[in-house]
Structure 1
Amino acid sequence: MDAYARGLAEYLVLCEREAVDPLSAGRTHVGVFVRELASRPHRRGSNIVSIESGVGLANATIQQRLVPVRLFYDFLVEEGLRESNPVGRGRYTPGRRASGHKRGLVPRFTKLPWIPSEQQWLDLLEVARCEPVRNRLMLALAYDAALRREELCSLRTGDLDPAHRTVRVRAETTKNRLERVVPYSAPTGVLLADYLAHRAAISRARGPLFLSESRRNYGQPLSLWTWSKVVRRLALTAGVERFSTHTTRHLCLTDLARMGWEIHAIASFAGHRHTDTTLQYIHLSGRDLAEKLKSGMDHIHAWRVRMLADTGAPDGVVGGVSR
C-alpha cells in the first residue's frame, strides 16, 4: 500500500506541475508520466551492470508505478467520474490487430531470475558457516523449502513436524494465499534441533519460531527487515552483492528443474497458482533445451560416424551393402 501510495503521489505531483486536472487527464498525459519515469536518472548513476544504461527506472519499476494510476482511474470510472481509463492494460501481440488485446503504454519485459554460480554459492556458505545457529537454520530452510521471506519469518513452532521433516506454510503468509506442506532435508533437521535447544534459553513459549536476540527486541518475533539485513550483510561479505532473501527460492526451484522434476510437481512445491510462473525455472535450468540438444547431437554424431565408416568401405560397398 505504501508503494502504491508513492506511485500515485508521483503521478499527482506531475499533474500539478503540468497544470493538468487528474480527473480529466488523457492517455497523452499518462504518457508524459511514463516518459518522465523512463528518463529519470538512476539512483546508482551510470555505473550499473544491467540492460539499462543508468538512465530511467527499470521496466518492472515503471510497471509498478503505473498500477496505482490504473487503479485510480478504475475507481473514477466506477464512481461515474470518468467514462474510460487512460492507462492501457492487458497483453499485446504485435501484428495481431484482430486479437482484441489492448496495447499497454509500456512493453513488459520478462527476465529470468538471477541465481548464483557454484563458486558464488560456496563463497556465501563459507561466510554463513560462522553465523549463529538461527541464521544458518533460516538460510537452510529458505533453500530447502523454497520459502519466500515472509513465509520464512512468519513460521511458528507448530508449523514444523520434525518427525516427518515437513513444514506447513500457512495460507495467510503466502503471496497467493495457497497453503502447502513441504519437506526439508536431514541436515536442516539437525540445525532445527540445535536451534530449538538454543531458542528454549530465550523463550519456552510456543509461537513465532525465529526470535530476535538483540537487546532492544530480545525475545520478540524476528522482523522481515532484520532478516533482509542479515542476508545483505552475508552477501556483501561474500562478495555476492546480487544475493537476496529471494535468491534461495530461485536456486532451489531451478535445482529441482535440473533434477528432472515435472513442472506440476515444482509448481505444487513452490505454491504457484499457475504453471506459467514455474516455466521460468524450467527455462533457467536449460533442462528441456539440453535434452533436445543431446538427442539431436546423438543423432548427428551417429550419422557422421556412419558416413566416415562408408568412406573406408571397399569399392562397390556402402554401409556394408553392395551397390
Structure 2
Amino acid sequence: MGAGDAFVEPVWERFPLITSNSYARRWIQSCASLGLAKNTVAAYMYAMEGFLSFARERSLDLRSTSQEAIAQYVGELRTQPRRLGASATRIDSGGLLSNATLQQRLTAVRLFFEFLVDEGLVRNNPVSRGRNTSSSRSGARSEQSLVQRFHKLPWIPTEEQWTALLAVVRDESRRNRCMLALAYDAALRREELCELRSSDLDPAHRLLRIRAETTKGRRERVVPYSDTSGQLLRDYLVQRRGLAKDRQALFLSESPRNQGAPITLWTWSKVIRSIALRANAPSFSTHTLRHLCLTDLARSGWQLHEIAKFAGHQSLETTRRSVDRGHRQASH
C-alpha cells in the first residue's frame, strides 16, 4: 500500500456466504490488504456473494468447478434484473444487468479462481479471459470473451441542454456550485471530488492535489482550477466556517441531520440527479463534467497523452473513448 493508503476492513456481516467460506474470505481479505480501493473491494464482494449463492443452489464444489458451470453462471447473470430506483430512466439493457456489470461480476470470479490456483487449491482456472474460436478462413485461433464487451460513448450535453443545466445550477448552494466548477476544471471523478481535503488546496497557485488513495489508478496528480472556481471556493469557505465539525474534509454536509460531516458519495449523486431532472437532462451524471472537460481540452488542441496525464488515465484508449463523443458531436 502507498503511504497515504489505509487498510479498510471489509464489512463481513453483510456477506454471510463469503464470511462462511474460508476461500472466499481469504481472497477478499487479500484484496483489502493489497490496498485495493474500498469501492473495488465492495464490488468484488457483491459479485462473489452472488456467485457463491449460485454455487450453493447447484451444490457446486469450488475446487472442481467446470467451464460448463461457469457458462451456466454467465447465462443466469444475463437473465438477472437490474436493481434500479423508481426514478431510473436508463433502458439500455432492457431492465437486465448492464454489460459493464456482467464484465465486473465475471472479472471478480476469474480473479477469485486465479487466487485459488496460486494457492494450489485448484489446478486450472475455469474462468478464462476468453474462449478459443477458430477462423473459418484461415484456421487461426483467437480469443473471444465469455461476455462481449461494449464501450458506450460518454454523454455530452447539447448547447440547449447545457443552457438548461446552467440555469438550474445558478440556484444551487455555494457548496454545490463550487463542487460543480471544480469537477469540470480539474476533470474530477466523484470520489476524487468528494474526498478532497482542505490540505489538498493550494489557493496561491490555484492547484488541487488529488491524492493517490482517492483515484482509480492509485496515482497522485496535481491539477489547476480557474479563477472563477477560485472565487466560488472562497465564497464557500466563508460559509464552511459555520459548518466545520470536520477540519479535514473540504466539502461538508448541509443536511440538518448530518450537518458538518463530510459529504458522502451518495449525497453528491442525489444532488446531481436532482439537477439533471430539473434541467430535463436525465443523462447528466457525476461523470459528465469530467468527460466534458476532457473533450474541451481535445477541442482546444491538447495531445492525447497530455489529456491522459491530466485525467489520471493509465490507458490512452480510455482517454480516446472519453473525448471521441465530443469530436463526433462537434463534427455534426
Q: TM-score, normalised by structure 2?
A: 0.78
2:182 maps to 1:107:
no
**Contact 1:167-1:184 at 8 Å conserved across structures:** yes
2:240 maps to 1:238:
no
Using the TM superposition, name which of 1-10 and 178-187 deviates more: 1-10
CA RMSD of aligned residues (A): 2.8
- Counterpart-to-counterpart distance in 2, 1:90 and 1:78: 19
Cα pair distance change 1:93/1:51, threshold 3 Å: farther
Residue aligning to 2:265: 224
Question: The residue matched to 2:196 in structure 1 has which SS?
Answer: coil
Residue aligning to 2:52: 12
Cα pair distance change 1:106/1:140, threshold 3 Å: same
What is the Cα deviation at residue 42 of structure 1? 4.7
Cα pair distance change 1:132/1:49, threshold 3 Å: closer
Cα pair distance change 1:17/1:129, threshold 3 Å: same
What is the Cα deviation at residue 49 of structure 1? 5.8
What is the Cα deviation at residue 18 of structure 1? 2.6
Cα pair distance change 1:42/1:211, threshold 3 Å: closer
How many percent of aligned residue pairs carry the same amino acid? Answer: 54
**Contact 2:246-2:260 at 8 Å conserved across structures:** no
What is the Cα deviation at residue 215 of structure 1? 2.3
Question: The residue matched to 1:150 in structure 2 has which SS?
Answer: helix
**Contact 1:123-1:238 at 8 Å conserved across structures:** yes
Residue correspondences, number: 288
Residue aligning to 2:100: 60
Question: 1:169 corresponds to which letter in structure 2?
Answer: I
1:263 aligns with one of 277, 289, 304: 304
2:255 maps to 1:214:
yes
**Contact 1:87-1:104 at 8 Å conserved across structures:** no
**Contact 2:294-2:311 at 8 Å conserved across structures:** yes
Cα pair distance change 1:20/1:4, threshold 3 Å: same
Unaligned 5+ segments in structure 2 are 1-40
- Counterpart-to-counterpart distance in 1, 2:134 and 2:232: 52
Which one has the largest radius of gyration?
A: 1
1:183 aligns with one of 215, 224, 236: 224
- Counterpart-to-counterpart distance in 2, 1:121 and 1:92: 46
What is the Cα deviation at residue 94 of structure 1? 7.5
- Counterpart-to-counterpart distance in 1, 2:325 and 2:133: 24
What is the Cα deviation at residue 64 of structure 1? 0.9
2:243 maps to 1:197:
no
- Counterpart-to-counterpart distance in 1, 2:156 and 2:134: 31
What is the Cα deviation at residue 255 of structure 1? 1.4
1:84 aligns with one of 98, 120, 124: 124
**Contact 2:92-2:98 at 8 Å conserved across structures:** no
- Counterpart-to-counterpart distance in 2, 1:36 and 1:14: 9
Question: The residue matched to 2:254 in structure 1 has which SS?
Answer: coil
Cα pair distance change 1:108/1:42, threshold 3 Å: same
Question: The residue matched to 2:282 in structure 1 has which SS?
Answer: coil
2:213 maps to 1:155:
no
Question: 2:318 corresponds to which letter in structure 1?
Answer: T
What is the Cα deviation at residue 23 of structure 1? 2.2
Cα pair distance change 1:90/1:228, threshold 3 Å: same
Q: TM-score, normalised by structure 1?
A: 0.80
